Amino acid sequence: MEGSEEMVVAVIMVGGPTIGTRFRPLSFNVPEPLFPLAGHPMVHHPISACKRIRNLARILLIGYYEEKEFTLYVSSISNELQVPVRYLKEDKPHGSAGGLYYFRDIIMEDSPSHIFLLNCDVCCSFPLPDMLEAHRKYGGMGTLLVIKVSAESANQFGELVADPNTKELLHYTEKPETFVSDLINCGVYVFTPDIFTAIESVFANREDRANPLRDTSFESLYSSTRTSVPKGFVRLDQDILSPLAGKKQLYTYETTDFWEQIKAPGISLKCSALYLSRFRATAPGLLASGDGTKKAKTVGEVYVHPSAKVHPTAKIGPNVSISANVRVGAGVRLINSIILDDVELKENAVVINSIVGWKSSLGRWARVQGDGNYNSKLGISLLGEAVTVEDEVVVTSCIVLPNKAINVSVQEEIIL
């Protein structure tokens, strides 16, 4: 039924606090999905991308954070985008396919013809309308966004083989030990409601395996899963994509744009830069500019919250985002950094390759810096909430937990 009345629902998986350990000490204060990248919560970027889908009925966030953590954000973003956004709390982790299935009745309330499934910890340009168009042409059950990466890094992700002409997914393997392909899964999907039947058959197969008298042709597909899986837990990659590859059910849509998985705070600096540069094309009004006369001089892409006070002699950028109520003093220099709410940076302080936590303060001529290696644990400096760096103190490549006062220079330390 091609037609304008077809509705689409978008589901964004936001995970839960058990996964958030990799984001410490920042996740002490705020759920990882609400951590700001380019001045907006991480989850805001996929949500605003969903707004570009035609006939979008609503957006559902699924996770196992407490509901109160998302209440304010969900109501403000629903108002801002004029699209209903709702947070659904799982009783326990169900895996991405299991979580989808757990809330199938709510997802299907609008009888959507298509369901988008996105992961919150993915940073990309989310080409959703193009994916949907390709998916309709392929005529399969699902289409996954894929990207080419270097052969060395491919094994950190789900590697796949697709037919170069038809784009059918022929083979899928999660984090393989030997090289399969430089095409990887981006964690962005569009499905028809048939996905629920596919997930149901996973449950049915498990029942059959538990009952050895009944054997099915799927047996061989699943006998390789060595560990017993918790009830109701279905992984999209191993349980759905791998078994259905090569059955004319799943197809791929390749992006040549940027893509990152946000696995650690260092990567969030890189992703903030990617989103800021994307604003240049999609939302130039969000970027600050100044030449150092009335407004601070900016270099490259910079986001400054309207409530922040920035001295005109400061110099900011490239890749800096400054959150609410930040006070930036005279002569301050900021490069490649995220400054969170209520931070005070006194005269001539310098911040490079760093994240400065909520309510922290840097004294005069203080310096917080990292070497900018996003993948190494101490490649950036990271100050937790309410950290004070005294005048003229230098903090290099350190992680500082909340409520600490640093009065001597430190290097490559984790300060507990």
Q: Of 194, 186, 90, which Cα lies nearest the Cα of 145?
A: 186
d(CA 365, CA 351): 10
Arithmetic mean of pLDDT, 381-401:
97
pLDDT band at 3 (very low <50, low <70, confident <90, very high): very low
d(CA 27, CA 181): 34
Residue 181 lies in a domain: yes
At 344 the three-state DSSP class reads: strand
Backbone angles phi, psi at 285, to 5 degrees: -65, -20
Residue 126 lies in a domain: yes
Backbone angles phi, psi at 206, to 5 degrees: -65, -40
pLDDT at residue 346 tops 80: yes
Percent of the chain with pLDDT over 90: 77
pLDDT band at 220 (very low <50, low <70, confident <90, very high): very low
Q: Are residues 240 and 369 in the same domain?
A: no
Q: Of 264, 256, 225, which Cα lies nearest the Cα of 242?
A: 225
Angle between helices 194-210 and 95-102 (to 10 degrees): 110
Percent of the chain with pLDDT over 70: 93
Arithmetic mean of pLDDT, 228-251:
88
* Count of domains forming the chain: 2
d(CA 107, CA 100): 8
CATH of the domain at 377: 2.160.10.10
Per-residue pLDDT tens over the stretch 241-296: 999 999 999 999 999 999 999 988 899 999 999 999 999 998 999 999 999 999 99
pLDDT at residue 108 tops 90: yes
Q: Are residues 190 and 211 in the same domain?
A: yes
Where among 226, 261, 296 does a domain terminate? Answer: 261
Residue 177 lies in a domain: yes
Element (H, E) at 115: strand 114-119
Q: Please tell me the predicted confidence (pLDDT) of residue 148.
A: 95
The answer to whether 128 and 12 are in contact (CB under 8 A) is no
Per-residue pLDDT tens over the stretch 113-156: 999 999 999 999 999 999 999 999 999 999 999 999 998 888 88
Q: How many CB atoms lie within 10 A of CB 180?
A: 17
Token digits for 74? 């969900």
The answer to whether 196 and 234 are in contact (CB under 8 A) is no
Which DSSP state fits 28? G
Q: Please tell me the predicted confidence (pLDDT) of residue 377.
A: 85
Arithmetic mean of pLDDT, 49-69:
96
